[in-house]
Chains A and B, each alone.
Chain A
Amino acid sequence: MRVLMFGWEFPPHITGGLGTACFGMTKGLAKNGVEVLFVVPKAHGDEDQTNVRLLNASDVTVNIDNEKDRSYWDRVQYMEIGSNIIPYVGPEQFTTMVEESRHATDNFRSSVMAPRYEFSGKYGANLMEEVARYALIGSSLATKYDFDVIHAHDWLTYSAGIAAKETTGKPLVVHMHATEFDRSGENINTNVYAIERRGMEAADLVITVSDWTRNIVINKYGISPDKVITVHNAVEPSDKSLDEYERSGLKSKVVTFLGRITYQKGPEYFVEAAYKILQVDPTIHFVMAGTGDMLQKMVKRVAQLKIGSNFHFTGFLKGNDVDQMFAMSDVFVMPSISEPFGIVPLEAMRLKVPVIISKQSGVSEVVQHALKVDFWDINGLADAIYGICKYKAVSDIFRNEGKEEVDNLKWEYASKKIKAVYEKAININ
């Protein structure tokens, strides 16, 4: 079986969990005998292509005078231009981006239809332009390769998926890694919502990364429950052991938050819980790793609470630094307000770090050896952190059993389920 897959990022060039998940999934699919053609907006050349053939959208040229190429464009549905759809930024950044995108809009159609187009592959001001161009190229690529099913990851690639389906008539599976409600709370961007919904409606089947997400898809997008299937994410088993990393230079316990510092991830609850714990035990140290639009606010709050000497910020970490951070941690905390899945706790457990996760996360559906709290329950969170720091019996169990558990959450198994979804989609089609 062969699948044409549309993704927005691929390791090592990633900004979040999406790229990591795609990478693991393609590896797992390879083990299950599924061949993957993976289309990215921009390939850097240093990606691991053992299990996947990477197609670089930036390399594909389009000839505007060519009748065929123009017909692809017609199939790419008209996109709302100038709507400045930008995920993952706050109001301040948004304002500066609006300025940039005003220029971008003027050139929109001409640059999308240019013979060559260099994608940034990021989430910048030209996002809508890139999404449109990506769809155009998706449609073009779909006729050049032979495959059985189309698989599109998250809304950025849905238009490409739809275009490919319309061009070739092959079945389409869309994968909801996150919904607009997870990213923005209740104040959603209606354009993004519309693209998500259109993608799911056009798809033969929808994969959600958790039942938490499946419920949102059914209840808030009105998608028929029959076509929505949950396949929980997995994690690549780590070939590294703790001994390969430096241990923390602090003599006391280290509690870590690692992720984008945005509303969705609940960083505020982590800071407030840290404050409560420090009133009781002033030796514990807290680390907030990552960056995001709420970083400054968090730094300010930490200073205001006068806990700066026990609360550290590392900035964005990637690759080896992430595992290094875990190796220095005694507890990992993910207090997300709404987390479709949340792969980071699994990465922590892989390195024998006990984890605390919010009940509002998809990962809490599959993990047994973790403490689970409501994200808003600061007292509960503080209790859980304190307990793991202080009581060795609990932390030892989590360390060892958690490692065991996570080693069995393999992409190989998850991909098997995804393969079954492909088969079902082909049969329906």
Chain B
Amino acid sequence: MRSLCFYFQVHQPYRLRTYRFFDIGKRHFYFDEYANRTTMQRVSELCYLPMNQLIMKKMEKLGNKLKFALSFSGTVIEQMQQYAPAALESFQKLVATGNVEVLAETYSHSIASMVDKDAFKMQVAEHKKLMKDVFGVKTRTFHNTELIYSNEIGKDVSEMGFDLILTEGARHILGWKSPNYLYVNALNPKMKVMLRNWKLSDEIALNFRNGNFTVESFVEMLNAIPNEEEVVNIFVDYETFGANVDASTGIFDFMEYLPEAVLKYTDFQFVEPHQLADRLQPMGVFDAPIPLSCRDEERDMSTWMGNDLQDDAIATLYSNFKKVKTTKDEELMRDWNALQSSDNFAGMCTKHIGGTPYDFYINYMNILTDFKNRI
């Protein structure tokens, strides 16, 4: 039997309010409460609740045959606790079945791994603690924000006690090699690396809405994979189902019929990531000297870093880390975490047409100035 590993990312950042120069030093709330609440409630209704219910039913029917993984950012958990407790409860029920692996990641869906090793460690430790508190599980498989990875990051993560990490099966690294095997980190061969099959993942996340993709075509694509290739990893955002891709496209029906079709018409079985590490022999070294991610055609860091706006904002944010590290102030910690979300820097990206990167930067820097004055 070959392995099919589904993993879904669940994440919402804190959206920042318009924070003017006049607010600095006077008003210390940075979030757009209204946008955060309504977004969380909307996504819960459109996606989290119906999708969880659908999967729960499947799991009751299929038992141990249906397994997958979920990864939650700390900021989405916090906001579910605040605005959508029913959604959180339904996630807890899913995890309680014992067939859902909860992955480790950074608390804020941050890019700390690229900037400051200690800040990165702290993010991971906080997240680990939160998963223990909320789901009662000990995470053992690591997945970095948007699958950001390099040899160095893989090594850092292994030093934090993880032995398996997920990343993008990026073509520019793999070359002729297939993502459908287990690999190891180039600096520490004990650190196993599993790769996203972006082709199949994108069929669901990006192409499904065009209407040409069905359970049948999915099964066909799986069967077309050469027999010796052992594992297919499909990673998509959980919000794909019902929020990013509308329910009217039939995406829920797709997920409803997919598990049985896979089990019946292919030689794949559903697994959780940690099972792979135990089960499979690594095929070779995944050598990524330069950081990669799963974002955009470039599959690099350019969504979050590299332009002047982003570089200044990131450097300014993390220059506060030494002081933040020692604080016991809960509000400060919450703000520190929220400000780290990678979404903030994506908002300053100038690669694409549209968006307001300059306004975003101005606003963010005003907040940072106030934040700095508080610590």
Q: Do A and B bind each other?
A: yes
Q: Do A300 and B372 form a contact, CB below 8 Å, given A309-B365, A312-B362?
A: no
List the one stretch of B71-79, B180-188, B308-316 in contact with chain A. B308-316
How far does the alpha carbon of A8 sit from the alpha carbon of B333 in the complex, in Å? 53
B21 touches A300 (CB 8 A): no
List the one stretch of B23-31, B85-93, B253-261, B321-329 in contact with chain A. B23-31
Q: Chain A residues near B372: list those with CB within 8 A.
A: 309
8 contacts between A and B (CB under 8 A): A249-B24, A287-B21, A295-B358, A299-B309, A300-B308, A303-B361, A308-B309, A308-B368
A308 touches B20 (CB 8 A): no
A248 touches B25 (CB 8 A): yes
Interface check A328, CB cutoff 8 A: yes
Interface check A250, CB cutoff 8 A: yes
Q: Do A250 and B24 form a contact, CB below 8 Å, given A295-B358, A296-B358, A308-B361?
A: yes
Minimal Cβ-Cβ distance residue in B for A306? B312
Q: Do A249 and B23 form a contact, CB below 8 Å, given A300-B309, A308-B313, A309-B316?
A: yes
How far does the alpha carbon of A308 sit from the alpha carbon of B363 in the complex, in Å? 10
Sorted nearest first, the 9 A-B pairs with minimum C-beta distance are A249-B25, A303-B308, A249-B26, A303-B312, A304-B308, A308-B365, A312-B21, A308-B312, A313-B362
Q: Chain B residues near A251: list those with CB within 8 A.
A: 25, 373
Interface check B34, CB cutoff 8 A: no
> Please, how many residues of chain B have a CB less than 8 angstroms from a CB on the other chain?
25
C-beta contact mask, B347-374 vs A, less than 8 Å → 1, else 0? Answer: 0000000000010011001101110110
Count how many pairs of residues, one from A and one from B, have CB atoms less than 8 Å apart in the complex: 71
How far does the alpha carbon of A300 sit from the alpha carbon of B362 in the complex, in Å? 10
How far does the alpha carbon of A304 sit from the alpha carbon of B22 in the complex, in Å? 24
Minimal Cβ-Cβ distance residue in A for B365? A308
C-beta contact mask, A231-259 vs B, less than 8 Å → 1, else 0? Answer: 00000000000000010111100000000
Closest Cβ of chain A to B359, distance in Å, is 8
B309 touches A246 (CB 8 A): no
Closest Cβ of chain B to A230, distance in Å, is 37
Interface check A314, CB cutoff 8 A: yes
B25 touches A246 (CB 8 A): no
Q: Chain B residues near A310: list those with CB within 8 A.
A: 369
Q: Chain B residues near A312: list those with CB within 8 A.
A: 21, 24, 362, 365-366, 369
How far does the alpha carbon of A296 sit from the alpha carbon of B362 in the complex, in Å? 11
Which of A249, A300, A325 is most buried by chain B, counting CB atoms within 10 A of its CB?
A: A249
A-side residues, CB < 8 A to B, are 246, 248-251, 285, 287, 295-296, 299-300, 302-304, 306-314, 324-325, 328
Q: Do A309 and B369 form a contact, CB below 8 Å, given A299-B361, A300-B308, A303-B311?
A: yes
Minimal Cβ-Cβ distance residue in A for B28? A249
Which of B24, B307, B372 is most buried by chain A, counting CB atoms within 10 A of its CB?
A: B24
How far does the alpha carbon of A127 sit from the alpha carbon of B308 in the complex, in Å? 36
B-side residues, CB < 8 A to A, are 20-26, 307-309, 311-313, 315-316, 358, 361-362, 365-366, 368-370, 372-373
How far does the alpha carbon of A300 sit from the alpha carbon of B311 in the complex, in Å? 11
Which of B308, B313, B368 is most buried by chain A, counting CB atoms within 10 A of its CB?
A: B308
Closest Cβ of chain A to B369, distance in Å, is 5
How far does the alpha carbon of A304 sit from the alpha carbon of B308 in the complex, in Å? 5
Q: Chain A residues near B25: list those with CB within 8 A.
A: 248-251
Closest Cβ of chain A to B371, distance in Å, is 9
Q: Chain B residues near A249: list those with CB within 8 A.
A: 23-26, 370
Minimal Cβ-Cβ distance residue in B for A321? B22
How far does the alpha carbon of A89 sit from the alpha carbon of B370 in the complex, in Å? 34
Which of B365, B368, B372 is most buried by chain A, counting CB atoms within 10 A of its CB?
A: B365
Q: Chain A residues near B373: list those with CB within 8 A.
A: 250-251
Q: Chain A residues near B23: list those with CB within 8 A.
A: 249
Q: Chain A residues near B26: list those with CB within 8 A.
A: 246, 249
Q: Chain A residues near B366: list those with CB within 8 A.
A: 312
How far does the alpha carbon of A287 sit from the alpha carbon of B362 in the complex, in Å? 11
Q: Chain B residues near A313: list those with CB within 8 A.
A: 21, 362
How far does the alpha carbon of A309 sit from the alpha carbon of B318 in the complex, in Å? 12
Closest Cβ of chain A to B322, distance in Å, is 15
B309 touches A303 (CB 8 A): yes
Closest Cβ of chain B to A254, distance in Å, is 9
How far does the alpha carbon of A233 sit from the alpha carbon of B315 in the complex, in Å? 46
Closest Cβ of chain B to A331, distance in Å, is 15
Closest Cβ of chain A to B77, distance in Å, is 29
Closest Cβ of chain B to A306, distance in Å, is 5
B358 touches A314 (CB 8 A): no
How far does the alpha carbon of A304 sit from the alpha carbon of B313 in the complex, in Å? 10
Q: Chain B residues near A296: list those with CB within 8 A.
A: 358
How far does the alpha carbon of A404 sit from the alpha carbon of B313 in the complex, in Å? 42
Q: Chain B residues near A309: list those with CB within 8 A.
A: 312, 316, 365, 368-369, 372
How far does the alpha carbon of A74 sit from the alpha carbon of B187 in the complex, in Å? 85
How far does the alpha carbon of A324 sit from the alpha carbon of B368 in the complex, in Å? 22
Closest Cβ of chain A to B17, distance in Å, is 15
How far does the alpha carbon of A300 sit from the alpha carbon of B373 in the complex, in Å? 24
How far does the alpha carbon of A256 sit from the alpha carbon of B81 in the complex, in Å? 43
